[in-house]
Structure 1
Amino acid sequence: MNIKQIVKNSRTYFKSHETLEYKFRKENLNKLRLAINKYEPQLLESLKLDLGKNEHESYMTEIGVVLKELTYNEKRLKKLMKPKRVRTAVTDFPGSSFRYAEPFGVVLIISPWNYPVNLTLSPLIGALTAGNTAIIKPSEFSINTSKVIEEMILDTFEEKYVKVIQGGVETNQELLDQKFDYIFFTGSTNVGKIVMEKASKHLTPISLELGGKSPVIVDKNVNIQVAAKRITFGKYLNSGQTCIAPDYLYVHKDIKEEFISEMNKNIIEFYGEKPLESSIYGSIINQRHFNRLKNYLNDGTSIVGGTIDEENLRIAPTLLDSVEMSSLVMKEEIFGPILPIISYTEIDEVIDFIGSRPKPLALYLFTENAHIEKRVLSECQFGGGCINDTVMHIASEYLPFGGVGESGMGSYHGAKSFETFSHYKSILKKRTWFDLPVRYAPYSPVKKKLIKRFLK
């Protein structure tokens, strides 16, 4: 496999201008839809093999959301492509102004293993909607799903248009040594730094969808039953291997015991008395991540869960109490089914703690107190989140998704995906039937007076 030649072929095809046409983009988005529907059984099976995902969860969080994203872009493609009229400054009379979207060119998409269908195909939809060609590097950890995606793409598109490249770290490094017109990376913060460094050598624009320790805050003025159920859902979805999963829980001391009891009820309701034997509860992706998560169990007291199944790489949904703030479980992103619980008295201590840490990808606040809501939204910096829910903001095509600081840069979903994979040319179109003389030499006091009036 000659990666340099693959990139060259993709660039040559982009320069043919075929991908620019509305009809071409529309047809290929429809091709992708047909392909996803055709390969749905294989994708569901591969997700089961890689992550132990049940079909309901796989469709809801992987295939269904991708199809919804496709529907949004297909319906709005013509409008998205249309030049956007903007106001024209008085200094540019007579004329008109607009922003003209053009694709970047050859796009590299590097996707992760935790949602290998969603986080590969969602950015691909944005790239193709915007008129780019794409090279995809899926994760080598979700090997079965990556193989199905490669087969599906090969069956659907010409390789010069969309190409999947498999491989590990060496393949990533070789790809990042090539010159791309845009790089879209989803993964860890540490690898994101490497991607950014490599991109800087070619001055390549990038999107980094990273992670971090996303807090959830539960005020005493909440519906405890609803809050506990929604946090249980968001935390243990995909066995906690979700970049926006609640990473630690601040709960008001007045309701802590009741809240823990309610979460325990929900865990049993979702996964049964023995979640390690549940047919709908997933597994950890590999032994290395399993060992890392197992060590976190020593950083506190398991008041719910804490049991493991090493043979099947499963860790039961766990609530961890008596956690030291200096422990590893409170420093590193957990990315698994372990939730440290910390009680608090005043919201100030929570806001101060969150502010002392890197900006998280998500934040979740459960409260009916408008003052606390306002304070958290205005004083805490984070990528996005929910009030009285968890993770569901990522499912909306009307809410751009992305991080800030160490949790990432750039955003996508819905119309924002088109914008992310497009460069907007700002165009001023002047008329010739009149030409303001004040900008031309020779200058005079009268012209200076007019210029001052125009530019105030």
Structure 2
Amino acid sequence: MSGKKRACTSCQRNGRLTCRRTRLGEPCLKTDPLECVDLLSRARVAFRAGRTIVEVFRLAQLEAVVRMLEEHECDFVDALGRDLHKPRFETVVSELILVKNEALHAINNLKKWMQPQHVERNLSTTLDECLVFSEPLGVVLIVGTWCNPVQTCLVPLVGAIAAGNCAVISPCECTAHTAELLHRLIPFYLDNECFHGIRSGTHVLPEVVELKFDHVFFTGNREEGSRIATAAARTLTPVTLVLGGKNPCYVDQHCDISTTAQRIAWARFHNAGQSLVAPDYILCHTDVQAQLLQALKCCLMQFYGSDPRESRSYGRMVNLEIFNRTRDLLWRSGKVAVGGQVIEAEKYIAPTILTDVAESDPIMHQDIFGPVIPVLTVNNIEEAIAFINKKEKPLCVYAYSTNSKVISRLMSETSSGSFCSNDSILQSLMVALPFGGVGSSGMGSYHGRQSFETFSHRKSCLLRGTRFECVTYLRYPPYEDHNLSLMTWANTLSQRSQGWCQIL
């Protein structure tokens, strides 16, 4: 049923306005801390009652997510248009379709995922049953980011639902219209006791985390992620962190320059460069720098015309804070080869390519959340690998080359959350590929089956009877050398023994 036709029952509970709205179009107020406590308490009661355990409930909630996206596609397009000047094409492809794919994949595979996994038996467990049972963690907190506010909230939510959890979702306040839309629609489509949306500023999120959830899933920058992890550590709450980073992009002298330029330009400048997974800088082989720059310039003309400001396919910065930060990085680093125009009143920064960038320039030491890409040159693959390895481990590494040995070296001799050759970003969107960071770019991963695993506890279960006490008595005191000899001998009977105390 459409959200426009249903009343929000969670808003009517005991006369309190937990969502502070009853119909679409009303202004959204920030969630009071006491309301967060109330929502968490209600979710815990629902979880303990077993509402989320059964498969049919999980399927119904996943189907409701798909229905919400389909019935309110225009609302999401409008909200992201207001927040980011995001073109409809980008909203549908990079936000809505991505979430629907995740939900449909979970629906199609949920029965298999929920089944206990049997493990290999050994000599001492021949007549026992050894299995791993995936149980839900409880009530989880999901914190999205402004770069992709729909997918960073709802893709993890799909995993949390599939795994049988209750969830509290906190969209980023920077994308206010999208946050308000999610805040309205969640009570209309999802179970009002198990799933809740809150409006919390980043400065109070650590306090929310300290309310003690069973898992916290955070997507955002490193500074905020560090605060979230610190707050979670105080209550021993496990976290998944997907953080930004300086994602390098190596362009080899042996590559298809035209295709390379198109794919890099698309990845860097879609959503006006506001992306955790876009190439952050290019390490270009000296021999092809001039060709690459010319090809990139042609791509920008083809994508956005002679004046990207007038293009319906080009976005804007989310707010003045991000605008000013990106503009300052642009002005203090390298030389503008293409673009460089800024209009503060419109939060507009033209697609910009920088050359003559020094490693010491500010833009090489801060994450770029804007439509600017520096181009540095290297003389060979060894220089590129050394340059990448000097820095913190990034979320993504990209390599463009027709030489398979070059691709193999970049993949095996650098460390990153993910790797993609001859394209960009796609490895972070595929439902079959786990995606996440490593080191300073985050911890944990998600997408598809991995999302289910992230929000599950894999409980080891050994089901055995009371037979064969004539053998197991050997483990009991008083300890005798004869008994130890028998146990050691029994353990040598199998070449595939996994530990000498199996006979216990």
Q: Do these two structures clear the TM 0.5 threshold for a shared fold by scoring above it?
A: yes
C-alpha displacement at 1:89, in angstroms? 3.3
Code of the aligned partner of 1:117: V
C-alpha displacement at 1:279, in angstroms? 1.1
Task: State the alpha-carbon separation in 1 of the partners of residues 195 and 301 from structure 2.
Answer: 44
Structure scoring higher RCO (CA < 8 A, sep ≥ 6) equals 1
What SS does structure 1 have at the residue aligned with 2:264? helix
CA contact (8 A) 2:207 2:231 kept: no
Once the two structures are overlaid, the 10-residue window that deviates more, 281-290 or 2-11, is 2-11
Q: 1:231 to 1:170 in 2, by over 3 A?
A: closer
C-alpha displacement at 1:442, in angstroms? 4.8
Identity %: 35
Structure 2 counterpart of 1:290: 323
Matches within 5 A, 1:264-283: 264-283=297-316
C-alpha displacement at 1:125, in angstroms? 0.5
CA contact (8 A) 1:276 1:308 kept: no
Matches within 5 A, 1:367-406: 367-406=401-440
Q: Of 283, 303, 322, which aligns to 2:356? A: 322
C-alpha displacement at 1:27, in angstroms? 1.0
Task: State the alpha-carbon separation in 1 of the partners of residues 125 and 383 from structure 2.
Answer: 53
Task: State the alpha-carbon separation in 2 of the partners of residues 308 and 233 from structure 1.
Answer: 20
Once the two structures are overlaid, the 10-residue window that deviates more, 364-373 or 317-326, is 364-373
**TM-score w.r.t. structure 2 length?**
0.88
Matches within 5 A, 1:299-338: 299-338=333-372
Structure 2 counterpart of 1:21: 54
Determine whether 1:141 maps to 2:174: yes
C-alpha displacement at 1:416, in angstroms? 0.3
Determine whether 1:253 maps to 2:286: yes
Structure 2 counterpart of 1:181: 214
CA contact (8 A) 1:136 1:164 kept: yes
Determine whether 1:451 maps to 2:484: no
What SS does structure 2 have at the residue aligned with 1:19? coil
Q: Deviations over 1:345-394 (max 9, x none)?
A: 12122111111111000000111223222221222110002011100011
Matches within 5 A, 1:27-426: 27-298=60-331, 299-426=333-460
CA contact (8 A) 1:321 1:342 kept: yes
Q: Of 43, 61, 64, which aligns to 1:10? A: 43
Task: State the alpha-carbon separation in 2 of the partners of residues 30 and 90 from structure 1.
Answer: 45
CA contact (8 A) 1:245 1:391 kept: yes
Task: State the alpha-carbon separation in 1 of the partners of residues 207 and 341 from structure 2.
Answer: 41
Code of the aligned partner of 2:140: V
Matches within 5 A, 1:429-440: 429-435=463-469, 436-437=471-472, 438-440=474-476
Code of the aligned partner of 2:468: F
Task: State the alpha-carbon separation in 2 of the partners of residues 115 and 169 from structure 1.
Answer: 16
Once the two structures are overlaid, the 10-residue window that deviates more, 80-89 or 186-195, is 80-89
Once the two structures are overlaid, the 10-residue window that deviates more, 61-70 or 167-176, is 167-176
Task: State the alpha-carbon separation in 2 of the partners of residues 276 and 310 from structure 1.
Answer: 12
Task: State the alpha-carbon separation in 2 of the partners of residues 406 and 106 from structure 1.
Answer: 26
C-alpha displacement at 1:115, in angstroms? 0.5
What SS does structure 1 have at the residue aligned with 2:231? helix
Once the two structures are overlaid, the 10-residue window that deviates more, 309-318 or 181-190, is 309-318
CA contact (8 A) 1:87 1:96 kept: no
Code of the aligned partner of 1:83: P
Structure 1 counterpart of 2:13: none
Q: Deviations over 1:89-110 (max 9, x none)?
A: 3333331211101111010111
**TM-score w.r.t. structure 1 length?**
0.97
Code of the aligned partner of 2:485: K
Unaligned runs of 5+ in 1: none
Q: Deviations over 1:176-209 (max 9, x none)?
A: 2201111001111011111111101110011001
Residues matched between the structures, number: 456
What SS does structure 1 have at the residue aligned with 2:59? helix
Task: State the alpha-carbon separation in 2 of the partners of residues 109 and 340 from structure 1.
Answer: 33
Q: Deviations over 1:98-133 (max 9, x none)?
A: 110111101011111111111111011111111111
CA contact (8 A) 2:206 2:227 kept: no
CA contact (8 A) 2:144 2:170 kept: yes
Q: Deviations over 1:250-295 (max 9, x none)?
A: 0111111011111111111111111121111000000111111111
Q: Deviations over 1:201-244 (max 9, x none)?
A: 11001100101100000111111111111111111111110101
Q: Which has the larger radius of gyration?
A: 2
Task: State the alpha-carbon separation in 2 of the partners of residues 65 and 450 from structure 1.
Answer: 58
CA contact (8 A) 1:108 1:184 kept: yes
CA contact (8 A) 1:93 1:430 kept: no
Question: What RMSD in Å do the two structures reach over aligned CA positions?
Answer: 1.4
Once the two structures are overlaid, the 10-residue window that deviates more, 128-137 or 347-356, is 347-356
C-alpha displacement at 1:432, in angstroms? 3.6
Once the two structures are overlaid, the 10-residue window that deviates more, 424-433 or 191-200, is 424-433
CA contact (8 A) 2:232 2:239 kept: yes
Q: 1:170 to 1:241 in 2, by over 3 A?
A: closer
CA contact (8 A) 1:108 1:183 kept: yes
Q: Deviations over 1:34-74 (max 9, x none)?
A: 11111111111000000011111110000000000011000
CA contact (8 A) 1:104 1:182 kept: yes
CA contact (8 A) 1:111 1:139 kept: yes
C-alpha displacement at 1:170, in angstroms? 4.7
Task: State the alpha-carbon separation in 1 of the partners of residues 362 and 102 from structure 2.
Answer: 37
Unaligned runs of 5+ in 2: 1-31, 492-498
